[in-house]
Amino acid sequence: MSASNRFITVEGVEKSFGSTQALAGVDLEVEQGTVLGLLGRNGAGKTTLVRILATLLAPDKGSVGIAGLDVVRRARMVRSLIGFAGQFAAVDETLTGRENLELVGRLYGLSRFLAHHRADEVLQRLSLTQAADRRVGTYSGGMRRRLDLGASLVGRPEVLIMDEPTTGLDPRTRIELWAFIDELVREGTTLLLTTQYLEEADRLADSIAVIERGRVIAAGSPDQLKQRFGGDVVEVRATNPTDVERLVTLLNGLGSGPPMADLRGQRVTLPTGERVHTLLAAARRIEEAGISVDDLGVRRPSLDDVFLSLTQQTTPQRPTITPAAATA
Ligand SMILES: Nc1ncnc2c1ncn2[C@@H]1O[C@H](COP(=O)(O)OP(=O)(O)O)[C@@H](O)[C@H]1O
Ligand SMILES: [Mg+2]
C-alpha cells in the first residue's frame, strides 16, 4: 500500500474512562474507497474508537488522520468530510422524517432548496418516501435506524462511519442495508463500520480488524484471516445438547488446537492440519464413547472459527465452552 492510499490512519490510540482502559494502543489503516470492518464483542472498544474518528471524543494518546487531516487539530475540516451514524438513533421524534433530514442538511450549510432535494434523495434510497411526512415517533425501530443512517448521508460524505449499523434490524432490512452499503462503496465512499457479526464483516468488508480489550488482535482481508487460522476444521454436531461438554473433553488433544464448543448450535469444532487423520480419530472416539451425533465432517474455517480461536488466546491450552459463538 502506498502512502497516498492510506486514507484513514490510526496510530497508537489510547483512551481511558476513569480506571477503565477502553483503547490500549490501536493502529489501523484504511485505503480510500474501501470498507474496513471493525469486529469485536460488546465492550471491546469499538464505539470509543469510532467516536474518536468522528471527532466526538479526543484520544488520550496517539493520533488519527482522515484524508491527511488530524482529527483533533482539524476537527472542523474533518467533520465536513465525514458522516457518522451512531449506535443509537439520534433523530428528533417530534419532527417528521423529512424535517429531520432537512434540518441536518441545513446544519451542513446547504441552502433550503438543496437540503430539500437531498432529503428527498435520501428518503428514496432508504425506502422511506411513504413515511416521509409522518412523525418519527410513529416509526418502527428499523425505520428509525434507516433514517439515522440517512442523516449521515445528507452531506454526501467522502467517509462514512457506522457504529453497528444493523444491530437490532430484522433480517430483511439488514439485507437491504447491505445492498445500500454496496452501492455507496461503488460510488467511492470510504467506509468504516463496526459489527459484532462475523457474517456481516465477511460480506461487506475488504479488510477486517478484530478488536478485543482495546487492542487490534488481528487484521487482514477475510481470506487472510481464514488462512491465518491455518488448516481446516472438524465439526461435530451433537444430537443431545447435554453431550456437548462431553464431546469437548473427548476431542481434546486430537487437533492442532483446543476444541471449541458452541452450546447454542450444539456444535464442537476442532482445528486441524491433518484433516483425514483427525476426522477418523474423532469418529473412533465418538463411537467408543457411544455419543449420538447428527453431523460429523471437515470444512474450511469460517470467520466464526477465526474469531473464536483468536479471542481465546488468553487460555490456549484448555478447551473452551462458549455459550453462543455467533454472537460472541
Ligand atoms: N463514557 C464512558 N464512561 C465509562 N466507561 C466507558 C465509557 N464509554 C465506554 N466505556 C467502557 O469502555 C469499554 C469499551 O466500550 P465501547 O467502546 O463502548 O465498546 P464496544 O462499542 O465495542 O461495545 C467498555 O468497558 C465500556 O464500559
Ligand atoms: Mg459499541
Do both 100 and 156 map to the same domain? yes
Ligand 2 geometric centre to CA of 231 (Å): 32
Ligand 1 geometric centre to CA of 323 (Å): 22
CB proximity list for 172: less than 8 A, separation 6 or greater: none
Mutate to test the pocket of ligand 1, among 14, 47, 52, 162 (most ligand atoms within 8 A of CB): 47
In a domain, 320, yes or no: yes
Do both 98 and 138 map to the same domain? yes
Q: What is the three-class DSSP state of 59?
A: coil
Do both 140 and 245 map to the same domain? no
Q: Whose CA is nearest to atom 16 of ligand 1?
A: 45
Do both 294 and 216 map to the same domain? no
CB 45 less than 6 A from any atom of ligand 1: yes
The mean pLDDT of 202-212, rounded to a whole number, is 93
Which CATH number covers residue 275?
3.30.70.100
Do both 181 and 323 map to the same domain? no
Q: How far apart are CA 73 and CA 69, in angstroms?
A: 8
Do both 115 and 202 map to the same domain? yes
Final residue in a domain of this structure, among 220, 244, 271: 220
Do both 282 and 203 map to the same domain? no
Do both 203 and 284 map to the same domain? no
pLDDT band at 327 (very low <50, low <70, confident <90, very high): very low
In a domain, 91, yes or no: yes
In a domain, 92, yes or no: yes
Do both 154 and 112 map to the same domain? yes
| pLDDT for position 109 | 86
Q: Could you read off the pLDDT of 248-275 as tens digits, one per residue?
A: 999 999 998 889 888 777 999 999 989 8
**Residue 300 DSSP symbol:** P
CB 195 less than 6 A from any atom of ligand 1: no
Q: Which residues surround ligand 2, an ion (CB under 5 A)?
A: 46-47
Give pTM, 2 decimals.
Answer: 0.81
- pLDDT cut 70: percent of the chain above it: 93
Do both 7 and 78 map to the same domain? yes
- Say yes or no to pLDDT of 208 above 80: yes
Q: Distances from the Cα of 321 to the Cαs of 135, 259, 266, 305, in angstroms?
A: 46, 9, 11, 13
Which CATH number covers residue 96?
3.40.50.300
In a domain, 225, yes or no: no
In a domain, 236, yes or no: yes
Residues spanned by the domain of 140: 3-220
Ligand 1 atom closest to Cα of residue 23? 14
Q: How far apart are CA 237 and CA 304, in angstroms?
A: 16
CB 48 less than 6 A from any atom of ligand 1: yes
86-90, 116-120, 160-164: least confidently modelled range: 86-90
- Say yes or no to pLDDT of 165 above 70: yes
Ligand 1 geometric centre to CA of 202 (Å): 25
Ligand 2 geometric centre to CA of 310 (Å): 20
Please report, as a single letter, which amino acid is at residue 238: A
